[in-house]
Amino acid sequence: MNNNTPYIWVDGNIITSDESGCTLLEHGLHYGTGVFEGIRCYPTANGPAIFRLDAHMKRLQAGAEVLGMNIDIHQLSQAALDVLHANQHQSAYIRPIIFYGAGSLGLDVGDQLVTHSVVASMPWKSHLGEAAENKGVWMKTSSVRRVPASSVPPLKLCGTYVNSIIAKREATQAGFEEALFLDPDGRICEATGENVFMVKNGIVTAVEHHDALPGITRDTIISLAQAEVRPVYLKELLNADEVFLTGTSAEVAPVTRIDNTQFEIGPVTRRLQTLYQDLVHGRLPQHTAWLTRVRKWAA
Ligand code: PMP
The CATH number of whichever domain residue 62 belongs to comes to 3.30.470.10
Nearest partner of 279 among 230, 219, 228, judged by Cα: 219
Is residue 2 in a domain? no
Q: How many domains does the chain have?
A: 2
Is residue 1 in a domain? no
If asked whether residues 103 and 237 sit together in one domain, one would say no
Task: Check if 48 has its Cβ closer than 6 Å to any atom of ligand 1.
Answer: no
Sequence-distant (≥ 6) Cβ neighbours of residue 152 within 8 angstroms: 159, 160
Task: Check if 211 has its Cβ closer than 6 Å to any atom of ligand 1.
Answer: no
If asked whether residues 219 and 138 sit together in one domain, one would say yes
For 170-181, how does the pLDDT look when each residue is reduced to its tens digit (9 = 90+)? 999 999 999 999
pLDDT (0 to 100) of residue 39: 98
If asked whether residues 143 and 185 sit together in one domain, one would say yes
Is residue 15 in a domain? yes
The residue ranking higher by pLDDT, 2 or 150, is 150
Write down which residue in 71, 89, 122 finishes a domain.
Answer: 122
> Which one of 35, 51, 248 would you pick to mutate in the ligand 1 pocket, going by the greatest count of ligand atoms within 8 A of its CB?
248
Is residue 248 in a domain? yes
Is residue 289 in a domain? no
pLDDT (0 to 100) of residue 19: 82
If asked whether residues 151 and 210 sit together in one domain, one would say yes
- Interval between CA 213 and ligand 1 midpoint (Å): 6
> Is the per-residue pLDDT at 111 higher than 60?
yes
If asked whether residues 145 and 112 sit together in one domain, one would say no
Question: Which burial class, exposed, middle or buried, applies to 281 when counting CB atoms under 10 A from its CB (0-12, 13-18, 19+)?
Answer: middle
Is residue 151 in a domain? yes
pLDDT (0 to 100) of residue 269: 97
State whether residue 116 is helix, strand or coil.
strand
CA angle (283, 288, 294) in 5-degree steps: 95
Task: Check if 63 has its Cβ closer than 6 Å to any atom of ligand 1.
Answer: no
For 118-161, how does the pLDDT look when each residue is reduced to its tens digit (9 = 90+)? 999 999 876 677 666 678 999 999 999 999 999 999 999 999 99
Write down which residue in 95, 122, 149 finishes a domain.
Answer: 122
The residues annotated with a catalytic role in the active site are: 156
If asked whether residues 226 and 166 sit together in one domain, one would say yes
Facing residues of 95 across strands?
120
Which of the four pLDDT bands, split at 50, 70 and 90, describes residue 297?
Answer: low
Task: Check if 215 has its Cβ closer than 6 Å to any atom of ligand 1.
Answer: yes
Nearest partner of 132 among 34, 254, 10, judged by Cα: 254
Write down which residue in 83, 101, 122 finishes a domain.
Answer: 122
Instruction: Indicate which atom in ligand 1 lies nearest the CA of residue 217.
Output: 14
Residues 200, 292: Cα–Cα separation, whole Å: 35
Instruction: Indicate which atom in ligand 1 lies nearest the CA of residue 56.
Output: 15
Is residue 291 in a domain? no
Is residue 263 in a domain? yes
Task: Check if 189 has its Cβ closer than 6 Å to any atom of ligand 1.
Answer: no
If asked whether residues 173 and 210 sit together in one domain, one would say yes
For 187-204, how does the pLDDT look when each residue is reduced to its tens digit (9 = 90+)? 999 999 999 999 999 999
Neighbouring CB atoms inside 10 A of 173's CB total 9
Nearest partner of 35 among 63, 65, 76, 12, judged by Cα: 63
Sequence-distant (≥ 6) Cβ neighbours of residue 229 within 8 angstroms: 205, 206, 208, 222
φ/ψ region of 255 (left if φ > 0, alpha if ψ in -120 to 50, else beta) reads beta
If asked whether residues 173 and 231 sit together in one domain, one would say yes
The CATH number of whichever domain residue 271 belongs to comes to 3.20.10.10
Instruction: Indicate which atom in ligand 1 lies nearest the CA of residue 212.
Output: 1
Average model confidence (pLDDT) across the chain: 94
Arithmetic mean of pLDDT, 202-222: 98
If asked whether residues 59 and 100 sit together in one domain, one would say yes
Parent domain of 157: 132-280
If asked whether residues 137 and 266 sit together in one domain, one would say yes
pLDDT (0 to 100) of residue 1: 63
If asked whether residues 77 and 168 sit together in one domain, one would say no
> Is the per-residue pLDDT at 247 higher than 60?
yes
If asked whether residues 140 and 275 sit together in one domain, one would say yes
> Which one of 137, 145, 195 would you pick to mutate in the ligand 1 pocket, going by the greatest count of ligand atoms within 8 A of its CB?
195
Arithmetic mean of pLDDT, 66-72: 97
> Is the per-residue pLDDT at 296 higher than 70?
no
Instruction: Indicate which atom in ligand 1 lies nearest the CA of residue 248.
Output: 16
Arithmetic mean of pLDDT, 90-103: 96
- Interval between CA 261 and ligand 1 midpoint (Å): 24
> Is the per-residue pLDDT at 299 higher than 50?
no
Task: Check if 17 has its Cβ closer than 6 Å to any atom of ligand 1.
Answer: no
> Is the per-residue pLDDT at 298 higher than 60?
no
